[in-house]
Amino acid sequence: MSDEGLRVVVSGTEWMGSGFGSIESALYQLFTSATDEVMIVAYAVSTATPMLFEQLAAMLVRGIRIRCLINRFPDQPQNVQQQFQKLKGTFPHLLEVYSFMPRNNEADLHAKIVVVDRHTALVGSANLSMRGLMGNHELGVVIEGTGALEVARAIDLLLVSAFVFPVS
C-alpha cells in the first residue's frame, strides 16, 4: 500500500495545532461520509462524548448498517449499555452490538477501530471517550483503499470467533 492513503490524526494539547488533524474530527468526517456500513471496534466507550451517540443515531436514521464489537460489553458503564440498547430498540434491523468475552481475564480486545464502507478506516489508540478523543495524547492513522478493506476483513474474522457474542 502506498503512503498516499494514510493520514495521521491526534489528540492531546501537545499535538493539537501542530499540523495534524484531530481524532474527533476524523471520526466525525468518517461518520458523516458513510453511505452503507460502519464497523466499530472498541475497548472502552463513554457517554461523555455526546458526538458518538449523536452520530450513531444520525447514521441509523440515514439507513447505515452499524456493527459494534465492544470489549466485555457487560462491564461497560451502565449508561453506555442503555444508549446502545435504546438505539437497538429503535433500529433493530440496522444496529448490531457484539461483546468480546474471552474465556479468561488474561485477554481483552484492546483494538480501537472504525471502518466506513470498507474503504476508509481509523485505527489508533484512542478509546471512544472524552479523554481518548480530547484529553489524552493519542494517535491514529486514517487508512483509505485496500488497507481499509483488509482491516474490515480482520474484523469480519473476529466477529465469528468463539469469543464474540451478540448483545440482546
- Domains in the chain, please, with CATH? 3-166 (3.30.870.10)
Residue 4 confidence (pLDDT) above 80 = no
Query: Under 8 Å CB-to-CB from 23, ≥6 apart: which residues?
Result: 9, 10, 11, 122, 124, 126, 132, 133, 138, 140
Checking if the pLDDT of 51 tops 90, the result is no
Grid cell for residue 41:
471496534
Residue 132 has a pLDDT of: 64
Dihedral-angle region of residue 118 (phi above 0 means left; psi in -120 to 50 means alpha; beta otherwise):
left
**Segment 64-88, tens digit of pLDDT:** 999 999 999 999 999 999 999 999 9
pLDDT, one tens digit per residue, over 130-146 is 666 777 888 999 999 99
Q: What is the rounded CA–CA span in Å between residue 67 and residue 60? A: 11
Q: What is the pLDDT of residue 86?
A: 97
- pTM reported for the whole predicted model: 0.94
